[in-house]
Structure 1
Amino acid sequence: MPEPTRPVAETPIRIAVVEDDHEIRDLVVAYLEREGFAPRGFVDGRAFDAGRSAFAPELVVLDLMMPGEDGLSICRRIAPSLPVLVLSAKGEDIDRIIGLEIGADDYLAKPFNPRELVARIRAILRRRALGSADAVLPVSIAPSPDPEPREVLAFEGWVLDVDGRRLAAPSGTQTPLSAGEFALLTEFARRPRRVLTRDQLLDLTRGRDTEAFDRAIDVQLSRLRRKLAAHGGADLITTIRNEGYLFSALVTRMRAGGQ
């Protein structure tokens, strides 16, 4: 399978690399620069907080084990407003699950292949761009003078603006979701009342070019269910034993800006 192509944009994508090991930090920064990104290294959470506003990162590569504030705490603060790829010497499944549980978009254990790091970063950015109406257009493509209406899915009082990447509860409250949670809910809402297996969900939300593991879906589903339940949507996603998951609501497809 060919390597994913480098994102083509008017300006390089800014990536913050928060890593206390200077050799790893310098290696990652140098490799990302060669791949066409605009990275900046930060030695710890305090340095990242001090430079975040001026740098305005679009993605964060975050080490978990650092002096002072650890990566878990930093991830809790910045996700899901910023996509996060966690790096850690802890490679056990439980540590990966904790990383996803606190809002990370992906997790890569040390030691890692820099090419895999870049592939995972590109996969995260693609998933974010697909769900964002504000995604940067390639410089070779001019905006359409008559853009397509936005895709909006409504169910049991909820409104999921797929292109705008927004979810409104029946009360009107905006419900923030991580990239993984939003992708899951979108695919469920596009396929209501149909059982989806873990493998199908992995393919739909993460793509075949990204390594993943079944428990990642369990973790993201658990977070998504909690957020839905907080606004009365506890029964929207049902587990079908030995088969998969089912989105039980009746979904109405709308087109914002259309007829």
Structure 2
Amino acid sequence: MLQNASIAIVDDEPDVLSMLADALRRDGFEVVCCASAADLDDALDTGAPDLVVLDVNMPGEDGISIARRLRATRQLPIIMLTALADTIDRVVGLEVGADDYVTKPFDPRELGARVRAVLRRARLMKETQPAERQDAVPQKARPGAVACFGEAFLDLDARCLVDRQGSPMAITATEFELLSTFARHPNTVLTRDRLLGDAAAHGASCCDRAIDIRVTRIRKRIEVNPTRPQIIRTVRSVGYVYVPPG
């Protein structure tokens, strides 16, 4: 059950930390409060939470640095906390791989809804991914179950991205949803509005810039030359088109 999930909250402001914890506990979540990156590392050593709510602006190691470090070593859902006016924080947070963000001041109901949405996507990916990845080699997949994205293959049934050797590649739940939309519509120009609509349907908060950031992150994994993309191409002023390799 999502309500039994463990949430680690990282914020250096005691009042905000307490308010966040109270809001999530009312929603039935177990909460671990962390006032710094060091506190979070201690919490991770004792048992990995199901999701991290991470403030951007903190003394010492800030939220962006923590998110980048977590994304490099763990498949752990991350929601960033940013100030309402700090668009750059939201953009950078998405660039380092955050799954979503919540702006301060926040509505406790919105926070709970965002947490549940990210947990649902992450749990679905975890539950549907096989324990052993021998069957992830693209050539052995069932017809139609795998879409080729250049240097990688999207396994639609196992909900994961694998390289040419069949090894899983790091990908967030929202990035998977974006790739699956492309896979369902090859050689079709998809507008940003269309991609935003699909993201919203899966509970992800998005904007035009967020779509662009996620496409950029995906290109770094799948394109031979991400600066000259051939698989997911930009259609200027419109959106993107997925061109399967010939």
TM range (shorter): 0.7 to 0.9
Residue of 219, 227, 231 corresponding to 1:236: 231
Residue of 36, 47, 61 corresponding to 2:53: 61
Which stretches in structure 1 are left out of the alignment for 5+ residues?
1-7, 136-148, 252-259
Indicate the RMSD between aligned Cα atoms, in angstroms: 2.7
Residue of 143, 147, 151 corresponding to 1:154: 147
Measure, in 1, the Cα distance between the counterparts of 2:86 and 2:57: 14
Structure 1 position 170, deviation (Å): 2.3
Structure 1 position 239, deviation (Å): 1.1
Structure 1 position 30, deviation (Å): 1.3
Measure, in 2, the Cα distance between the counterparts of 1:168 and 1:32: 34
TM-score by length of structure 1 reads 0.79
Against the structure 1 CA distance between its residues 160 and 34, is the aligned structure 2 distance closer, same or farther, given a 3 Å change threshold? same
Aligned 1:48-197 pairs, distance under 5 A: 48-79=40-71, 81-89=75-83, 91-134=85-128, 152-155=145-148, 158-197=152-191
Equivalent residues of 1:237, 1:248 under 8 A apart? yes
Measure, in 2, the Cα distance between the counterparts of 1:44 and 1:151: 46
Against the structure 1 CA distance between its residues 151 and 249, is the aligned structure 2 distance closer, same or farther, given a 3 Å change threshold? closer
Structure 1 position 98, deviation (Å): 0.8
Task: Name whichever structure is richer in helix by fraction.
Answer: 2
Structure 1 position 167, deviation (Å): 1.4
Structure 1 position 221, deviation (Å): 0.6
Equivalent residues of 2:102, 2:111 under 8 A apart? yes
Secondary structure, aligned partner of 1:131: helix
Against the structure 1 CA distance between its residues 56 and 150, is the aligned structure 2 distance closer, same or farther, given a 3 Å change threshold? farther
Tell me the equivalent position of 2:15.
Answer: 23
Structure 1 position 185, deviation (Å): 1.1
1:197-220 Cα shifts (integer Å, max 9, x gaps): 112112212327654311100111
1:53-112 Cα shifts (integer Å, max 9, x gaps): 323201000011112211111100112611100002263322211110111111122111
Measure, in 2, the Cα distance between the counterparts of 1:210 and 1:231: 28
TM-score by length of structure 2 reads 0.83
Equivalent residues of 1:131, 1:163 under 8 A apart? no
Tell me the equivalent position of 1:146.
Answer: none
Measure, in 2, the Cα distance between the counterparts of 1:214 and 1:104: 16
Against the structure 1 CA distance between its residues 58 and 65, is the aligned structure 2 distance closer, same or farther, given a 3 Å change threshold? same
Against the structure 1 CA distance between its residues 214 and 154, is the aligned structure 2 distance closer, same or farther, given a 3 Å change threshold? closer
Measure, in 1, the Cα distance between the counterparts of 2:5 and 2:12: 22
Equivalent residues of 2:24, 2:112 under 8 A apart? yes
> Is residue 2:39 matched to residue 1:47?
yes
Tell me the equivalent position of 2:207.
Answer: 213
Q: What amino acid maps onto 1:167 in structure 2?
A: L
Structure 1 position 194, deviation (Å): 1.3
Which stretches in structure 2 are left out of the alignment for 5+ residues?
130-141
Measure, in 2, the Cα distance between the counterparts of 1:75 and 1:248: 32
Identity %: 40
Equivalent residues of 2:231, 2:245 under 8 A apart? no
Against the structure 1 CA distance between its residues 19 and 214, is the aligned structure 2 distance closer, same or farther, given a 3 Å change threshold? same
Against the structure 1 CA distance between its residues 75 and 208, is the aligned structure 2 distance closer, same or farther, given a 3 Å change threshold? closer
Measure, in 1, the Cα distance between the counterparts of 2:230 and 2:180: 16
Tell me the equivalent position of 1:14.
Answer: 6
Q: How many residues are matched? A: 230
Tell me the equivalent position of 1:249.
Answer: 244
